[in-house]
C-alpha cells in the first residue's frame, strides 16, 4: 500500500537537493570547524557560508544568526536567556503556544525567575486579542512577550508585525516562535521588530536536529549551553555541520519556490475543505480557514461525535493515511490537546489535523475523503 502523508506540520520529507548537498559535505569535509588547520578551516567556511545564506534571506546580519539543534532549543534559549539578561519578572504568552514555550515559561514561574505569567485573551478561532495584549503591557513593568506566528495545530496566523509594534511601544522583549512559518512566508527581521525568531529545518524539507535562533543585534544574551566557544561563544558544542548546510539549502529552495508552493498547497487545502464539507454532514473546522488568516499548510477538521472517536487516527493509519489530531479534555484521565482546550473546543468531537506539502496531490485528497467518509459513516449514530 502506498501511503499518503498529511502530517507535514509535524515534519516534512527531506528535499532530494538537500540530501545531495549534505552527502557531498559528509563525503568530502570531515575537519572540526574549531580546528585551525586546513581541514578545520574548510568546514568553518561551510558553516559561515550557510550563516550568510540564512542571514541574507531574512535581511539579518550573520552575527544575528545562531545555529541550534532545532526549534525547541532555540525557543528555550530565547526565553530563558532573554528573561535572565534583562532581569524580567513578567511574561505574556497565550494558552495555545507550543509546549517548548508554555512549559519553559511555567518552569521559570515555578523556579521564581519570573513573578508573574499572564495569558493574552484568544477567541474561539485562536486569534490574539491585541487590545488585551496592550492592556497587559500597559499595566506591568518591562515584559517578555512570547506569541507564535502560526499555531501548529490550528493554523491560525497572528499579525506578528502588529505584535512587534505594540511590544516596541511598551519597551517589551518580543520572542516569536516562527517554526511553522519559516520558509513558507517571507520574514524580514528589519520590519518584524522581534528580538528573537526561530527555525527548525525539518519543517521546511530540511534535516532533523538542526535549526537557528535569530537574536536581534539590539539585545545581548548569555549562552544557555556552555562548554565551548562555538557560535561566537553563544552555544557550546561541535556544530552539526551537515545539518547546518542542509538547513541553509532547504531555506534557499523554500524561498526560491515559495510563490508556486503557496499557490499549490493553498489550492489543496481549499479543495479538501470543500470536499469534506460536501461529503460529510456536521463537520466544522478548528481555527481560521480564510487564506489571509490561516497557515496554508494546515487544516484542522472537527468531526461529529462518534463511537470510538479515539480510534479515528488509527483507522486512517491502517488505511494508509498519516495525519495527526486529538480532542479537547473530556475527563481527568484525558488531558487532550491543550490548544483545543485553549479555544474551548467541544470535547466530544474528535479532530484531525491534515497538513500539506509541495509533494501532495488532489488525487491523494480524493482517496482521503473517500476513506474518511467511510470511517465516519461507520461510527456516527451507530
Enter the DSSP assignment of 64.
G
Average pLDDT over residues 296-315: 86
- Tell me the catalytic residues: 329
What pLDDT, on a 0 to 100 scale, did the predictor assign at position 330? 40
Residue given cell 532530494 in the structure block:
16
- pLDDT tens digits along 261-289: 999 999 999 999 999 999 999 999 999 99
Cell numbers given for 207: 534535516
Per the model's pLDDT, the better-predicted residue between 369 and 331 turns out to be: 369
Residue given cell 479537547 in the structure block:
328
C-alpha distances in Å from residue 143, one per residue of 87, 90, 112, 140, 148:
10, 5, 15, 7, 16
CB-CB neighbours of 285 under 10 Å: 18
What pLDDT, on a 0 to 100 scale, did the predictor assign at position 289? 94
- pLDDT tens digits along 27-45: 999 999 999 999 999 999 9
Cα–Cα dist 248/251, whole Å = 5
The β-bridge partners of 331 are 334
pTM: 0.95
Fold (topology level) of 16-256: 3.40.640
Domain residues of the chain, as ranges?
16-256, 257-379
Q: Cβ(131)–Cβ(105) under 8 Å?
A: no
Strands (E), 282-361: 284-286, 298-302, 321-322, 324-326, 351-355
Predicted confidence band at 253 (pLDDT cuts at 50, 70, 90)? very high
Cell numbers given for 20: 545531495
Find the helix or strand (DSSP H, E) in which 240 lies: none
Assigned CATH class of 257-379: alpha beta
Helix-helix angle 160-169:130-138, to 10 degrees: 20
CA-wise closest residue to 120 among 78, 73, 162, 179: 162
Report the range of poorest mean pLDDT among 163-167, 206-210, 335-339, 368-372: 335-339
Enter the DSSP assignment of 321.
E
Measured in degrees and rounded to the nearest 5, phi and psi for residue 355 equal -130, 135
Cα–Cα dist 249/244, whole Å = 9
Amino acid at each position: 500500500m502506498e501511503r499518503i502523508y498529511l502530517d507535514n506540520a509535524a515534519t516534512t520529507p527531506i528535499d532530494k537537493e538537500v540530501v545531495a548537498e549534505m552527502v557531498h559535505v559528509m563525503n568530502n569535509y570531515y575537519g572540526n570547524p574549531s580546528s585551525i588547520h586546513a581541514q578545520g578551516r574548510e568546514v568553518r567556511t561551510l558553516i559561515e557560508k550557510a550563516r550568510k545564506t540564512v542571514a541574507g534571506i531574512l535581511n539579518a546580519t550573520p552575527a544575528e544568526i545562531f545555529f541550534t539543534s532545532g526549534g525547541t532549543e532555540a525557543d528555550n534559549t530565547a526565553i530563558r536567556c532573554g528573561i535572565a539578561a534583562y532581569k524580567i519578572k513578567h511574561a505574556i504568552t497565550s494558552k495555545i503556544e507550543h509546549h517548548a514555550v508554555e512549559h519553559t515559561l511555567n518552569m521559570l514561574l515555578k523556579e521564581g525567575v519570573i513573578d508573574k505569567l499572564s495569558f493574552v485573551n484568544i477567541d474561539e478561532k485562536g486569534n490574539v486579542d491585541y487590545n488585551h495584549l496592550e492592556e497587559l503591557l500597559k499595566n506591568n513593568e518591562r515584559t517578555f512577550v512570547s506569541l507564535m506566528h502560526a499555531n501548529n495545530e490550528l493554523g491560525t496566523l497572528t499579525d506578528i508585525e502588529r505584535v512587534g509594534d505594540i511590544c516596541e511601544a511598551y519597551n517589551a522583549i518580543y520572542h516569536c516562535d516562527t517554526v511553522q512559518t519559516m520558509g513558507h512566508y517571507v520574514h524580514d527581521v528589519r520590519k518584524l521588530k522581534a528580538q528573537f525568531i526561530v527555525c527548525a529545518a525539518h519543517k521546511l524539507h530540511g534535516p532533523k536536529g538542526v535549526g537557528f535562533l535569530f537574536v536581534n543585534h539590539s539585545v545581548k544574551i548569555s549562552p544557555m549551553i556552555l562548554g565551548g566557544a562555538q557560535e561566537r561563544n553563544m552555544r557550546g558544542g561541535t556544530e552539526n555541520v551537515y545539518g547546518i548546510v542542509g538547513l541553509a539549502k532547504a531555506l534557499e529552495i523554500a524561498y526560491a519556490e515559495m510563490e508556486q508552493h503557496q499557490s499549490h498547497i493553498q489550492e489543496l487545502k481549499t479543495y479538501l475543505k470543500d470536499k469534506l464539507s460536501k461529503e460529510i454532514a456536521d463537520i466544522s473546522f478548528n481555527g481560521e480557514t480564510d487564506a489571509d488568516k490561516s497557515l496554508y499548510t494546515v487544516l484542522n477538521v472537527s468531526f461529529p461525535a462518534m463511537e470510538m472517536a479515539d480510534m479515528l487516527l488509527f483507522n486512517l493509519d491502517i488505511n494508509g493515511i498519516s495525519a495527526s489530531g486529538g480532542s479537547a479534555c473530556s475527563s481527568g484521565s484525558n488531558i487532550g490537546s491543550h490548544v483545543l482546550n485553549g479555544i474551548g473546543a467541544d470535547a466530544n468531537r474528535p479532530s484531525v489535523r491534515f497538513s500539506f506539502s509541495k509533494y501532495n496531490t488532489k488525487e491523494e485528497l480524493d482517496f482521503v475523503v473517500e476513506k474518511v467518509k467511510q470511517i465516519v459513516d461507520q461510527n456516527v449514530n451507530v
